Amino acid sequence: MTLAYDWAGRVGDTWADEWRRTDLSFANLSPHLNAAILDVAPETGTAVDIGCGAGGTAIALAAARPALRVIGIDLSRNLVETARGRGAAYPNLRFEVGDASELGGITADLLFSRHGVMFFADPVAAFTRLRHGATSDAHFVFSCFRDVTLNPWAIETGSAVTGAALQKPGTSPGPFAFADADHVRAILQASGWTGDAQPVDYSYRAGEGEHAVDEALAFFSRIGPAAAQLRELDSAAREAGRERLRGVLAARLRNDIVDFPASAWIWSCRPA
């Protein structure tokens, strides 16, 4: 788990408040990821969503595979509560609070994650635990962001507030920690997995509707690189930073939609 991101505390609480907007931001990626998961999902057995957040991906799988036991695990109590509320209609679905890399003692036939695997302090140790908790013919499907330069949503919003270029993230825990496919391949190899990655370019939806720019501004003021910078400023500087951010968002407005280019990997892995 990552302390820097404090998923069990403030960051998780913010994601729980903002789950509709975070789901919207993934809306054009999820069909690709859900299709990759369904491609390998068994009809029965147990599937675990690693870092399930508010549960959107687990709910989609539970709906498509009613005889499969689907379990979502997340560090954030508030996100798990949100997921439980959203998923209450599915008897084959449950959500648990905990470190997903420990799998709660479950043996999994399928592991999957939408952007929930890049925050482990020790990814090799975490992926090794996941390997030990998976059957020998399990599948592991997950998405993660590609290089930040392929993700203008982060570059443009991250440099809007102060005007300084966003520093290129490295491989420490964070949204871009798995951007380098060779780095991920090395983690997989060291932890007993083998896998291939497909690049997916998609539109990152920051806001939509009559007030799309306000929606996007509300979102990026709480989540993402601009939000982190805004938190550091005094109130006058914060207001000026928000106005610059608004300008960047307004420049992306088309037909009541604020979309940015974005790019992710979808990894499909098996035990080595």
Nearest distance, CB of residue 202 and ligand SAM, angstroms: 14
Find, among 84, 86, 35, the residue nearest to 64 by Cα.
35
Provide the binding-site residues for ligand SAM, judged by CB under 6 A: 1, 7, 12, 15, 22, 26, 51-54, 56-57, 73-76, 79, 99-101, 114-116, 119-120
Cα 14 from Cα 103, distance rounded (Å)? 24
Beta carbon nearer to ligand SAM, 50 or 241: 50
Work out whether strand 108-114 and strand 193-208 pair parallel, antiparallel, or are unpaired: unpaired
Beta carbon nearer to ligand SAM, 28 or 162: 28
Beta carbon nearer to ligand SAM, 14 or 229: 14
Nearest distance, CB of residue 103 and ligand SAM, angstroms: 10
Nearest distance, CB of residue 47 and ligand SAM, angstroms: 14
Which burial class, exposed, middle or buried, applies to 141 when counting CB atoms under 10 A from its CB (0-12, 13-18, 19+)?
buried
- What is the CA 219 to chain-centroid distance, rounded? 15
Beta carbon nearer to ligand SAM, 32 or 246: 32
Nearest distance, CB of residue 20 and ligand SAM, angstroms: 11
Find, among 58, 35, 32, 22, the residue nearest to 202 by Cα.
32
Work out whether strand 69-74 and strand 46-50 pair parallel, antiparallel, or are unpaired: parallel
Nearest distance, CB of residue 128 and ligand SAM, angstroms: 14
Beta carbon nearer to ligand SAM, 74 or 215: 74
Cα 11 from Cα 258, distance rounded (Å)? 24
